[in-house]
Amino acid sequence: MFKRLLALLVVVVMSVSLLAGCGGGGNTNTPTNTTGAAESTGATGDTITIGTIQPISGAISAYGTQSRDAIQMAVDEINQKGGVLGKKLKVVVEDDENTPEKTVNAFKKLVTQDKVIGIIGALTSKCSLAITKEAQQRKVIMISPSSTNDTVTDAGDYIFKACYNDSFQGPSVAKFAIETLKAKTAAVMFDNTNDYSVGLKDSFKKKFMELGGTKVVEESYATGDKDFNAQLTKLKASNPDVLFISDYYPTVSLMAKQIRNVGMDKVVLLGGDGWDEITNNAGDEVVGSYYSNHYAPYSDDKEVKDFVSKYQTKFNVVPNALAALAYDSTYILADAIQKAGSTDPEKIKAAMLETNKKFVTGSIKFDPNTRVPIKAITMVKIEKDSSGKLIAAFGGTINPQ
């Protein structure tokens, strides 16, 4: 009896853990936060409806909430200036909690129930990849603000993005490590269950070796892991000059402390755009680290200054790069609808390709083959200001080759 009960229990435990594993740690049951009712569909009546899918709760909610606010801000501005095609623009927000399954559900809801003509999202690569095929099939214009994985736009000509690719980002960080930091050996930590993390790591490693690096050692972990001591102890043995952490800020802040705890106190930490927001989520252990990003909020650029001051007055925080990208994405999509002169997806798609304007995150012009913008990369250095607060200082730019 006892044995049988325990065996039954094991089955229950295993299946529960499996389910939780798929969910990636966080799960709720209701899609939250839909602004506005769904009575007007697509472009009928006097509104044009677009949708956005963002991780509003869960591990990287700081990205999702700021992006949502930035999109709403852009929509309000557009409506103040008369809307699009003489109609009001409306945005329906869906939360995916950074899990691909929920992204698919959100996508289906936006397309079938709200009948949106375009979608801004998803935010992360793994979530975007879950819906690109369907967006292409259903002819829904999709513009991901920040999914840097190269394969995101592969699904077809209805898929766009407002950020650069990892195949540009990874090598830029490698170039920076070799040329500016004079690094010879590197170590890499990456999440082997995350498309973004793996893609970024591969491109960094390749370029680092090409540019004369002597050695790159790598170690991996899975999403949701908290203990990295074993992997870091292994990396420490190789005594690298730089350590590239290919992940998002919550994992980076968790790992940074353990890096210093295992005694790697000299190694310079490097990262990609997933580090955005690290300054609000980590301590002294990341001071002196560098990461590549889409924009630096303390820039003298006119567009950047306008955006930052507007955002700051409204929401009382300095917007992160993902907010800037989401803001740009909204304008790109709205401009294209205006230019197309109709809500026919075929025409909007063609108009999107003609985009050639300066936005907050730089001048954007799409590569006609990949529908990825060609633009410069910003390196950010983490510094401590006089009050002891961490700030994202300007660390340099790297132009597209």
Partner 1 sequence: MEFVQQVLNGLSLGSVYALIALGYTMVYGIVKLINFAHGDILMIGAFGGFFIMGAFGVSPTTILISFIVSMGVCAIIGIIIEKTCYAPLRNAPRINALITAIGVSYLLENGGRVLPFMGPNPKQFPTFKIQNYNFLGINISQTQIMTIAISILLMALLNYIINYTKIGKAMRATSFDMNAACLMGININRIISFTFALGAALGAAAGILFASSYPQVEPYMGFMPGLKAFVAAVLGGIGSIPGAMLGGFLLGIAETLTKGFISSKLADGVAFGILIIILVVKPTGILGKNEREKV
Per CB under 8 A, the list member of 46, 76, 227, 367 interacting with partner 1 is 227
| Cα-trace Rg, the chain | 22
Q: Does 263 bind partner 1 (CB under 8 A)?
A: yes
With b for 16 or more beta-carbon neighbours within 10 A and e for fewer, the 187-205 pattern comes to bbbbbebbbbbbbbbbbbb
28 binds partner 1 (CB under 8 A): yes
Could you tell me where the DSSP H helices lie in 81-222?
Answer: 100-108, 125-129, 132-137, 166-179, 195-210
Q: Which residue stretch of 24-32, 72-80, 103-111, 314-322 sits at the interface with partner 1 (rule: CB under 8 A)?
A: 24-32
CB of 388 to partner 1, least distance (A): 13
Peptide linkage before 122 cis (omega within 30 of 0): yes
x-or-dash string of contact with partner 1, 30-69, rule CB under 8 A: ---------------------------xxx-xx-------
Q: Quick one: which of 15, 16, 239, 312 contacts partner 1 (CB under 8 A)?
A: 16
Residues 157 to 216: which contact partner 1 by CB under 8 A? Answer: 192
Using the minimum distance from each CB to partner 1, give the nearer residue, 205 or 375. Answer: 205
One residue of 231, 292, 330, 355 binding partner 1 per CB under 8 A: 231
How many residues does the structure list for the chain? 401
73's enclosing H/E stretch is helix 61-80
| Contact of 171 with 398, CB cutoff 8 Å | no
Q: Which two tokens mark 154?
A: 């592969």
Pairwise CA distance, residues 76 & 82, whole Å: 10
Among the listed ranges 118-126, 281-289, 321-329, 368-376, the one in contact with partner 1 (CB under 8 A) is 281-289
Query: Of the two residues 13 and 22, which places its CB atom closer to partner 1 in the complex?
Result: 13
CB nearer partner 1, residue 90 or residue 201: 201
19 near partner 1 (CB under 8 A): no
Query: Site for partner 1 (CB under 8 A): which residue of 112, 229, 239, 342?
Result: 229
Dist CA 162 CA 328 (whole Å): 7
Count of CB atoms situated within 10 Å of the CB of 6: 9
Count Cβ neighbours within 10 Å for each residue of 382-393 and write b for 16 or more, e otherwise: bbbeeeeebebe
Contact call for residue 270 and partner 1 (CB under 8 A):
no
Stretch that binds partner 1, among 221-229, 289-297, 337-345, 376-384 (CB under 8 A): 221-229
- Residue 117: CB minimum distance to partner 1, A: 31
Q: Among residues 13, 22, 76, 389, which is the contact residue for partner 1, using CB under 8 A?
A: 13
Q: Which of 83, 118, 250, 272 binds partner 1 (CB under 8 A)?
A: 250
Is residue 9 at the binding interface for partner 1, with CB under 8 A as the rule?
Answer: yes
Residue 343 CB, nearest approach to partner 1 (Å): 36
For the residues of 204-265, what is the DSSP string, one character each? Answer: HHHHHHHTT--EEEEEEE-TT----HHHHHHHHHT--SEEEEES-HHHHHHHHHHHHHTT--
CA distance 255 to 232: 9
User: Cβ(275)–Cβ(252) under 8 Å?
Assistant: yes
Question: Using the rule CB under 8 A, is 289 a contact of partner 1?
Answer: no
Rounded Cα gap, residues 293 and 394, in angstroms: 10
Q: How far is residue 234 from each of residues 65, 259, 299, measured CA to CA in Å?
A: 37, 11, 39
Q: 1, 37, 356, 386: which one contacts partner 1 (CB under 8 A)?
A: 1
- Name 229's Cβ contacts closer than 8 Å, sequence gap at least 6: 258, 261, 262
Query: Given the rule CB under 8 A, which of 258-266, 292-300, 305-313, 382-390 is the region that contacts partner 1?
Result: 258-266
CB of 237 to partner 1, least distance (A): 6
Determine, following the binding rule CB under 8 A, whether residue 261 of this chain makes contact with partner 1: yes
Interface with partner 1, residue 266, by CB under 8 A: no
64 vs 395 by CB, closer to partner 1 = 64
Q: What would the DSSP string read from start to end of 259-320?
A: HHHTT--SPEEEE-GGGTTGGGT--GGGTT-EEEES--TT---HHHHHHHHHHHHHHSS---
Residues of this chain that interact with partner 1 (CB under 8 A) are 1-3, 5-7, 9-10, 12-14, 16-17, 20, 25-26, 28, 57-59, 61-62, 192, 219-222, 224-227, 229-231, 233-234, 236-237, 250, 253-254, 257-258, 260-263, 265, 281-285
